[in-house]
Structure 1
Amino acid sequence: MRLALHWQILIALALAVVMGVWTGTEAQIFGVHWLAIYTFIGTLFLNALKMIVVPLVVSAIITGVANVGQHGGFGRLGGKTLGYYVLTSFLAILIGLALVNLLQPGVSENGVPVMETNDQIMSAISGKSAGDVVDVFLRMIPVNVVDAAAEGQMLGLIFFSLLFGYFMTKLKGAHKDTLTNFWQGIFEVMMMITAWVMKFAPLGVFGLVAASVAKTGFDQFGHLALFFLTVSLALGVHFLVVMPILLRVLGGVKNPWLHYQAMAPAILTAFSTSSSSSTLPITMNAVETRAGVSNRVSSFVLPLGATVNMDGTALYECVAAVFIAQLFGVPLDWSTQLLIVVIALTTSIGVAGIPSASLVAISIILVAVGLPAEAIGLLLVVDRLLDMMRTVVNVFSDSVGAVVIARSEGEDQVLVSKHF
């Protein structure tokens, strides 16, 4: 019987801690430093992740936008749905950004950086953030798309992909079919490559974490505990405060807590599976039979939400990027944090439907602001439980969207009483 991937990763984490402590930075085997072996394994895994980023994100966004357009998704119902998804993801990111700046989980008591910072990192950060908000928007339109792909300028690629996908829906006949099949084929191939790369995640996690432990010992684990608390608190605020407010203000629901009772089966399924897509049938059943939303609304809003609406993921990406900057003692000015917000919002839409989406998305953000992607290995220590929690937030936000949009469409029977 093959162990599930998350169990393999947990075992790799435990082994990495043991080996990192045992070998330190000086131990050798056959004349080769253990640290060099750890670094080699971790770098291979990170290179594989970086390899898939550009084609995966571009094809995911183009096919996602094209699919919405093909189903008439740019009409009234589609406009409401996409507007709601952008709003809730943006609110989630702002909550995460506020709490990570308030609690500062990556800042040591004496102000000394937890991780070693080099001049290259500092110059990259200053180069990314030197300027005002105008520079952020200038980066959205690349002068050369090929150069943007080669240099990892993801903001420009995301903007181009959104435009390409939208205008692809305006084509007629054979050209439209050809392009649709082409990008759908690329997306499906990239999904398979991603799944293959993730089979090596336990090895990659072992190399990244073992190297980190060997160099810094357990110094960073206290910060990881505070990082876990920060993300959990931010997710809780979004789940228990923002969502009820949206139900009451936008949906006109007198008792928002009825929706929590209605969605209990989907919430438990999302927590146990860590998959919005796997939970989708349970979510649709709960929204229709327990919350009273029509199939016309739920069949459009929920499948689209399971693909593009990832409030918890967007929140996590933002907190993780700022946390890593704090660990390295790198100050992020407001324009760089705005860049993180924009990229977190767009990548949560573009890569949400893929396995281990957060790994890919966080690596995009780190590269965009000049931080080392190697720091992702630290996050994997606490990622499994946080993944379960943010999936709950993702799924629940989709269901709230279905209720809000159904009420806006005149469905007055939604959540007026228990349907269960």
Structure 2
Amino acid sequence: MKSAWFILSALIAGMLLGVGVEMISVPWGTASLPYIEWIGLLWLNALKMTIIPLIVALLITGITATADAARAGKLAGRAVAIFVGANLLAGLMTLLVLPLLLRAFPMSVAAATGLRHGLGGSAEAGPSPTFTDFILGLIPTNPIAAAAETAILPLIVFTTIFAFAISRIGSAERATLSGFFKALGDAMLVVIGWVLALAPIGVFALGYALAIKAGVAAFGGLAHYVLMLSMIGVCTIILGLALAVFVARVPLPRFIRAMVPTFAVAISTQSSLASLPAMLKSSESLGVDPKKADVVLPLAVALFRFTSPAMNLAVVVYVAWLFGIELTPWEMAVGLGVAMAAALSSVSLPGSISFVTSIAPIAVSMGVPVAPLGLLVAVETFPDIFRTLGNVIGDVTATKFAADSIDDTPKGEEP
């Protein structure tokens, strides 16, 4: 929490300084850019260098952990299926709702132009591949070359196949390979933690450059982004409440009353993990067998991020819209798949780290610029409140539905 506010403060300070310099003298502002902007760009490069190894490590550990959980028993298997289905619904909701919100609440031309210029100018979209090219491009002839060329989609396909293959080999070999990739992921998270420790410096420089290039309009552009992402967060919360009422069959007033303590913890900590004890109490208030809640809720906290596909896709779709990139149905389908896989891989990561590790693979797979994430991470503090609220609603709803759908299955029983 303190780190997120510190990064946000650095962004605001950099932008205010940039606006002040620009108001005093435009030539001064332009002349100062080469001496300051490179700091932010260097930090961005350090951030981007972690993307490929993180994608591979987190995807493999996420899939193998999910497969292991699904084999643990009927209750765990049913819970995993519910997690996947709910994430699919949330991601589809974003792809349908966000374009409507962007049309209903457009950004001013000045703010859009300024923000786009400040975040990197224009993005040239390559020619759309044919259906045959798309299918042939899914399977890499050389996965190492695909990684080196940042061909993210074929790399993800290979990694997914490899991860499922790991889940089918002997337990000793599976543990060895899973342990290796978990160690790789942990090491990369240490690296990205170091990079993000320097985020206030990098974000300050990027914010200064943004203000020099875009002026005061940059503030309006970032406010519009926060508003759109927060509205998607609200829509995701509404979807979660609808699932609680119509799928888990809990009357809305009863569900809200049971969740009030959990909401208080979620808002104050912005952490699903910290909200786990309160969620256990809320589940008990809703009539969930404590033994079943003890199985499903920890699994949900580890694997289930109800808001992640929705809000992570919203970030990428927003950036695409800002840069005038027309997303094809194929690209949106690929982005949805990657968003769901990334949601399973973001196991108990701090918000600033999960923002990068979850959204960068989606952006790369959809052909959307990654560089804007370096600035957008600074304003994630506000949408993150809706992420946490939506996640705890999804966790408790999934627990209630999974528990009610299994008739006293002993823990550990094979399906």
**TM-score bin (small chain):** 0.7 to 0.9
Partner Cα separation in structure 2 for residue 393 and residue 352 of structure 1: 16
Q: Aligned match of 2:309 in 306, 314, 317?
A: 314
CA contact (8 A) 2:288 2:403 kept: yes
Partner Cα separation in structure 2 for residue 10 and residue 206 of structure 1: 9
Partner Cα separation in structure 1 for residue 384 and residue 63 of structure 2: 26
Q: Aligned match of 1:10 in 8, 11, 15?
A: 8
Partner of 1:323 in structure 2?
318
Equivalent position SS for 1:130: coil
Equivalent position SS for 1:314: helix
Partner of 1:278 in structure 2?
274
* 1:245-266 C-alpha deviation (Å, 9 max, x unpaired): 323433233x143222212222
Partner Cα separation in structure 2 for residue 378 and residue 200 of structure 1: 13
Partner of 1:126 in structure 2?
126
CA contact (8 A) 2:111 2:221 kept: no
Q: Aligned match of 1:397 in 394, 398, 409?
A: 394
Alpha-carbon distance change, 351 to 19 in structure 1, aligned in 2, over 3 angstroms: same
> What is the percentage of aligned positions where both structures have the same residue?
29
Alignment of 1:150-161 (within 5 A): 150-161=148-159
Alpha-carbon distance change, 234 to 38 in structure 1, aligned in 2, over 3 angstroms: same
Alignment of 1:9-408 (within 5 A): 9-24=7-22, 26-27=27-28, 33-71=31-69, 73=71, 75-104=73-102, 108-109=108-109, 113-114=113-114, 115-116=116-117, 121-122=123-124, 125-127=125-127, 129-132=128-131, 139-172=137-170, 174-240=172-238, 242-253=239-250, 255-287=251-283, 289-351=284-346, 353-355=348-350, 356=352, 357-380=354-377, 382-408=379-405
CA contact (8 A) 1:89 1:345 kept: yes
Partner Cα separation in structure 2 for residue 410 and residue 239 of structure 1: 29
Unaligned runs of 5+ in 2: 409-415
Q: Report deviation, 1:393.
A: 0.7
Q: Report deviation, 1:27.
A: 2.3
With normalisation by structure 1, the TM-score equals 0.84
Alpha-carbon distance change, 249 to 11 in structure 1, aligned in 2, over 3 angstroms: closer
- Compare 166-175 and 215-224 and name the one that shifted more: 166-175
Equivalent position SS for 1:374: coil
Instruction: Look up the equivalent residue of 1:237 and give its one-letter code.
Output: C
Equivalent position SS for 1:311: coil
CA contact (8 A) 1:106 1:323 kept: no
- Compare 351-360 and 71-80 and name the one that shifted more: 71-80
Alpha-carbon distance change, 243 to 103 in structure 1, aligned in 2, over 3 angstroms: closer
Aligned residue pairs total 399
* 1:346-380 C-alpha deviation (Å, 9 max, x unpaired): 22222353222122332223333333322224424
Equivalent position SS for 2:50: helix
Partner Cα separation in structure 2 for residue 352 and residue 344 of structure 1: 14
* 1:319-370 C-alpha deviation (Å, 9 max, x unpaired): 2112212222333333333333232222222235322212233222333333
CA contact (8 A) 1:265 1:282 kept: yes
CA contact (8 A) 1:59 1:184 kept: yes
Unaligned runs of 5+ in 1: 412-420
- Compare 46-55 and 377-386 and name the one that shifted more: 377-386
Instruction: Look up the equivalent residue of 2:42 and give its one-letter code.
Output: L
Q: Report deviation, 1:215.
A: 0.3
* 1:201-239 C-alpha deviation (Å, 9 max, x unpaired): 211211222211110112243333333332222222221
Alpha-carbon distance change, 65 to 340 in structure 1, aligned in 2, over 3 angstroms: closer
Alpha-carbon distance change, 89 to 268 in structure 1, aligned in 2, over 3 angstroms: same
Partner Cα separation in structure 2 for residue 111 and residue 196 of structure 1: 33
Alpha-carbon distance change, 218 to 61 in structure 1, aligned in 2, over 3 angstroms: same
Partner Cα separation in structure 2 for residue 218 and residue 317 of structure 1: 27
Partner Cα separation in structure 1 for residue 333 and residue 70 of structure 2: 32
Q: Report deviation, 1:101.
A: 0.8
Partner of 1:418 in structure 2?
none
Partner Cα separation in structure 1 for residue 66 and residue 295 of structure 2: 9
CA contact (8 A) 1:152 1:368 kept: no
User: What is the alpha-carbon root mean square deviation over aligned residues?
Assistant: 3.0
With normalisation by structure 2, the TM-score equals 0.85
Alpha-carbon distance change, 362 to 27 in structure 1, aligned in 2, over 3 angstroms: farther
Partner Cα separation in structure 1 for residue 69 and residue 230 of structure 2: 36
Equivalent position SS for 2:140: coil
Equivalent position SS for 1:276: coil
Instruction: Look up the equivalent residue of 1:286 and give its one-letter code.
Output: S
Alpha-carbon distance change, 26 to 283 in structure 1, aligned in 2, over 3 angstroms: farther
Alpha-carbon distance change, 350 to 119 in structure 1, aligned in 2, over 3 angstroms: same
Instruction: Look up the equivalent residue of 2:126 and give its one-letter code.
Output: S
Partner Cα separation in structure 2 for residue 273 and residue 48 of structure 1: 29
Equivalent position SS for 1:278: coil
